[in-house]
Chain A
């Protein structure tokens, strides 16, 4: 009976697929390849309406095997990819993109460029939304490669100009690359997404040709358009651009999206906030910065309220987080200067009875380090500050 046959066929297909999966997950590429040759038969009766049909499976599995198989080479890989492109219309662009990625990762930039150009000219019926996105990506990557060519020509030209002569042909070629790159890059960065390399390259092009307004607009858009994800790099790029443009510090800081306040208070706030994070916990630079600021404030006895304000929201957990006896021991063993800075801050914020301060200053005095003796004196002298902060 045909239905039974269909069922059996489906069953053996599934079994074959699970064998392949098993082999892939155990890095048995040869075994997987043998099973895949059997699985290819499933293409003959591809009635499936499943999410991923057999042709896509063969593409994915085959690619993975060819990446790792000991006897595969680039030629075979390219050949396989070409076959896969013709196997499914819906996936043509996706397969092209992946093919290009592989070529790029293997340093075959020119082949990749050719493939991108071919893919760009591909047309088949009406494009779906996904195909549209893929096409835009293909164009963007071509733009990126054009940018690299432009950059190469630019370097040649710069070298030549240093030597004192100009090459009109190279310059022409460079401008050509610029136009091609700019058109494609401009397109993709309009769509919400993470386009760090594309934006960087586009801004570089614009800056070279002196179009600073466009560059600023692009960067502003990339950083502040709410449809885009909150990408820290977007702000960094804008900041770097503004810095290159020699903008005032005010606008620089505003580029970093922080509200204005008095400079020093802002600094204190930022450094306290940074040290909240586990990633900054043992950052000696941050601690020395905080120690310096705290010391200044304590000596001048002005703006103690700033410290108090910051300390209020932290006094219940910073002692355990930063100033435990265990950490005192470890910091002392691993990084003496870090422990010095931390001990200073601990002594001011928690008083001279604090475990961290006591341990470090004791060890420092024992080791006869002058710095630590001074530290002890300083903290003892300014102990009333602690009372005012904690009160």
Chain B
């Protein structure tokens, strides 16, 4: 490969950059940079000059109105990553983001608060357990004896709420109670010393914030295209991550048609970490795919023939997160790996790892970033290694001795202050000695043979640093295409450059054509069918997810040339767009009457029918995948406490005493969380106990139980009953049988319950080896009268098992209670709601009954599901 006969003129300085640095929104326009005589040796006529930038390039036009999904969204909803709003102090958000300064205020207190709420066990586990009796969270005043040893926390909570409302108020120090409390217990309340915890949290917050500003873990992108073999069928393979944690690697065959179409199901591998980067290179007709996650790197081999399964070759584990993985385009099974500790390895599948460099410091000046990158060069044994300050090439055979500087952030390349290397890439497929380096401001093309001086430089004007790049080499005489992609803003930029040969001499590199912005994933939102607002919001969030990868392929079908560009988002979506080559010749200088040529066709305004079908299908799958997950972990809880004010509950001025009585009873029941069974007015006093039919004799257990239940001390009865020894029980059984014989014909209460007979016999035949008796405690009760007295231990009142419910809700049982058939189902449903979460007992002081709820069984769940949603749906 010849070196250009003459290069564009440029100054060469050394040292730190002199030009002040700031992102300039239009810095890339309107400049030719330099000129050079285009075709030297034609002195007879006038010399012809070519510009470094601004010559006419190829014209590529978008074939569709927006990017089109290639894959259906995977099942399971994507969880969006943190946003600035999540960790920044509210009032400073807008101001600081606009100014672009790093002086943003992190909302440290809120995050610490979140930690305390989300992980109370870790935060105050032991102290909390020791002290929970002494903290009271109720509303009522504390009584005298309790006040000595108990603090009422409600007031403190209210103070905190007030403090929240007064954010930014200059008089916010007026919270003496809080101050007093925090002084009192700051030193001993926390499980982890507060200072230490705060340090850790702050560190994490800073990390999160810097990730939000610029997340370099995605550098290189996690999308690769394995093109079909020359002349083969147009079926390539898309390698992309997926799954909710992005830890599944897919090799998906894709047929290149007007809209690329997937073929068959993908080969799938589950990895043990989030996939950050997928790199691929073709050597000797086989594709080698390198996959990087934070602590693991792996390499796969994909045989040239499509349809052959990819084989995993090797995996390495790193102690420090890896920041780079590139695959050698020269030798099969060779890769280069960098870790954040500043180590660069040459990794060969056959011979293992060879450490080339270990230097935690950056190369040319001090920069805090641990990011390192490495790639191959035109010489298979020479690797480049990069950090934020520049690039060096080193010989793997003698890495310590043989190296040279390829690129330096400094005056050498005419950099700006604050400029940093974002992504280096070997452009070997276009030219074996060329290199691409992008920074947050510019893109550079370098030639290994002329180190430090970029052969091309252009301010790319992208809003976010280009983390992804893809090269599509052009055939001789045609331009090479470079795609630059940013993550956060999803920007995609198409550039063209060439180093032409003309009349036997090699010309210097020129940037040709105008840079072109391509469709982003988010841009297709306006072409999707109209959605309900909340759906629209979900969709918007999903489509605007940061980009995570970029790849592209050129397709030549006779004279028809097109370019397919795939973009991956962090949500795992892969979208693609097609550009077609417009071959209409255009004069170098636009003239007045060349209207149709000089004005390129605008891209279509509406998506093609085929694209519209794709959108609809994608949307359908998206809404299926993102439907609200069934929330089966907690039972419903209704709070009646705030339904009525105290005044409402005071005696109403009702017309009749009966109504008054009824209302009173209703309110009372609701207050206590009980239920009303009778439709007829009831006396407030429980009905007198029915006369026992057999006052003198030992009643049968059911009668005894019911009698006990009626009287309200059923629990005690149960305990007595379970504590019976078997021998006693047997004796009792014999005794009872004897009595039964004697008292033949006498009606017992039990006789009216046909079902209870079987129950009875089961109970009586109980042996030691049988299933352990459930402690049924108190089954959900139908009448309000039998609610336990206030103050009974809450544990008993809350634990509910399914069995007694079912017994209770059996048709027989309901019939017995005189409930008409058609209403039984309603009642059953109603009760099942309650069965899951028992009524709140009338608040014993210091107990939080709602916390003690336990998950209910599945059967109840299904029956009560539609009912439970209602409160959410209604509002």
Query: Which of the residues A62, A107, A193, A227 comes within 8 Å of B9, measured between beta carbons?
Result: A193
Interface size on A, residues (CB 8 A): 75
Query: Which of the residues A59, A197, A317 comes within 8 Å of B331, measured between beta carbons?
Result: A317
Residues A233 and B599 in contact in the complex (CB < 8 Å), given A17-B25, A320-B331, A326-B284: no
> With the chains together, A107 CA to B47 CA distance in Å?
8
Q: Give the chain B neighbours of A200 by CB distance below 8 A.
A: 6
Query: Which of the residues A21, A67, A104, A137 comes within 8 Å of B25, measured between beta carbons?
Result: A21
| A132–chain B nearest beta-carbon distance, Å | 11
Q: Are A277 and B378 in contact (CB under 8 A)?
A: yes
Chain B contact residues: helix, strand, loop or mixed:
loop
Instruction: Determine whether B44 belongs to the interface, using a CB cutoff of 8 Å to chain A.
Output: yes
Q: Give the chain A neighbours of B31 by CB distance below 8 A.
A: 60, 63, 98
| A252–chain B nearest beta-carbon distance, Å | 18
Q: Are A107 and B46 in contact (CB under 8 A)?
A: yes
Residue-by-residue, is A191-222 near B (CB-CB < 8 Å gives 1, otherwise 0)? 11111111010000000000000000000000
Q: Give the chain B neighbours of A193 by CB distance below 8 A.
A: 9-12
Question: For window 123-161 of chain A, which residues contact chain B by CB distance below 8 Å?
Answer: 129, 133, 137, 140, 148, 151-152, 155
Instruction: Determine whether A366 belongs to the interface, using a CB cutoff of 8 Å to chain B.
Output: no
Q: Are A105 and B50 in contact (CB under 8 A)?
A: yes
Q: Are B7 and A233 in contact (CB under 8 A)?
A: yes
> With the chains together, A279 CA to B431 CA distance in Å?
8
Residue-by-residue, is B570-602 near A (CB-CB < 8 Å gives 1, otherwise 0)? 000000000000000000111110110111101
Which residue from chain A places its CB closest to the CB of B332 in the assembled complex?
A320
| B486–chain A nearest beta-carbon distance, Å | 13
Question: For window 430-450 of chain B, which residues contact chain A by CB distance below 8 Å?
Answer: 431-433, 449-450
Residues A194 and B8 in contact in the complex (CB < 8 Å), given A104-B35, A276-B381: yes
> With the chains together, A106 CA to B54 CA distance in Å?
12
Question: For window 253-288 of chain A, which residues contact chain B by CB distance below 8 Å?
Answer: 276-279
Query: Which of the residues A18, A72, A231 comes within 8 Å of B450, measured between beta carbons?
Result: A231
Residues A137 and B451 in contact in the complex (CB < 8 Å), given A69-B598, A98-B30, A105-B35: no
Which residue from chain A places its CB closest to the CB of B11 in the assembled complex?
A193
Chain A contact residues: helix, strand, loop or mixed:
helix
Instruction: Determine whether B26 belongs to the interface, using a CB cutoff of 8 Å to chain A.
Output: yes
Question: Of A74, A155, A196, which is in contact with the most chain B CB atoms at under 10 Å from its CB?
Answer: A196
Which residue from chain B places its CB closest to the CB of A133 in the assembled complex?
B11
Q: Are A233 and B590 in contact (CB under 8 A)?
A: no
Instruction: Determine whether A229 belongs to the interface, using a CB cutoff of 8 Å to chain B.
Output: yes
Q: Give the chain A neighbours of B3 by CB distance below 8 A.
A: 232-233, 236
Stretch in B357-365, B509-517, B526-534 touching the partner: B509-517
Question: For window 151-195 of chain A, which residues contact chain B by CB distance below 8 Å?
Answer: 151-152, 155, 188, 191-195
Query: Which of the residues A27, A101, A327 comes within 8 Å of B35, measured between beta carbons?
Result: A101
Instruction: Determine whether B759 belongs to the interface, using a CB cutoff of 8 Å to chain A.
Output: no
Q: Give the chain A neighbours of B663 by CB distance below 8 A.
A: none
Question: For window 480-505 of chain B, which residues contact chain A by CB distance below 8 Å?
Answer: 493
Query: Which of the residues A17, A69, A70, A324 comes within 8 Å of B26, measured between beta carbons?
Result: A17
Instruction: Determine whether B285 belongs to the interface, using a CB cutoff of 8 Å to chain A.
Output: yes
Q: Give the chain B neighbours of A194 by CB distance below 8 A.
A: 7-10, 12, 450, 453
Question: For window 52-80 of chain A, which residues contact chain B by CB distance below 8 Å?
Answer: 52, 57, 59-64, 67-74
Residues A277 and B432 in contact in the complex (CB < 8 Å), given A21-B461, A229-B453, A230-B450: yes
> With the chains together, A27 CA to B599 CA distance in Å?
8
Question: Of B330, B380, B594, which is in contact with the most chain A CB atoms at under 10 Å from its CB?
Answer: B380
Q: Are B9 and A52 in contact (CB under 8 A)?
A: no
Q: Give the chain B neighbours of A106 by CB distance below 8 A.
A: 588-589
Q: Give the chain A neighbours of B12 by CB distance below 8 A.
A: 192-194, 227-229
Question: Of B9, B450, B452, B590, which is in contact with the most chain A CB atoms at under 10 Å from its CB?
Answer: B9
Q: Are B517 and A279 in contact (CB under 8 A)?
A: no
Question: For window 349-388 of chain B, which residues contact chain A by CB distance below 8 Å?
Answer: 378-381
Instruction: Determine whether A22 belongs to the interface, using a CB cutoff of 8 Å to chain B.
Output: yes
Instruction: Determine whether A24 belongs to the interface, using a CB cutoff of 8 Å to chain B.
Output: yes
Q: Are A231 and B26 in contact (CB under 8 A)?
A: no
Q: Give the chain B neighbours of A277 by CB distance below 8 A.
A: 378-379, 432-433
Query: Which of the residues B9, B44, B49, B450 comes within 8 Å of A195, measured between beta carbons?
Result: B9
Q: Are A107 and B48 in contact (CB under 8 A)?
A: yes
Instruction: Determine whether B779 belongs to the interface, using a CB cutoff of 8 Å to chain A.
Output: no
Which residue from chain B places its CB closest to the CB of A18 in the assembled complex?
B25
Which 7 A-B residue pairs are closest in the complex by CB-CB distance? A63-B30, A279-B432, A25-B517, A60-B30, A70-B598, A326-B284, A196-B6
Can you name 28 A-B residue pairings with CB atoms under 8 Å?
A17-B25, A51-B24, A57-B25, A60-B30, A63-B31, A68-B514, A70-B592, A70-B598, A72-B590, A73-B592, A98-B32, A101-B49, A104-B49, A137-B9, A148-B46, A188-B9, A194-B7, A196-B5, A229-B453, A232-B3, A232-B449, A233-B5, A233-B7, A277-B379, A277-B432, A279-B378, A320-B331, A324-B332
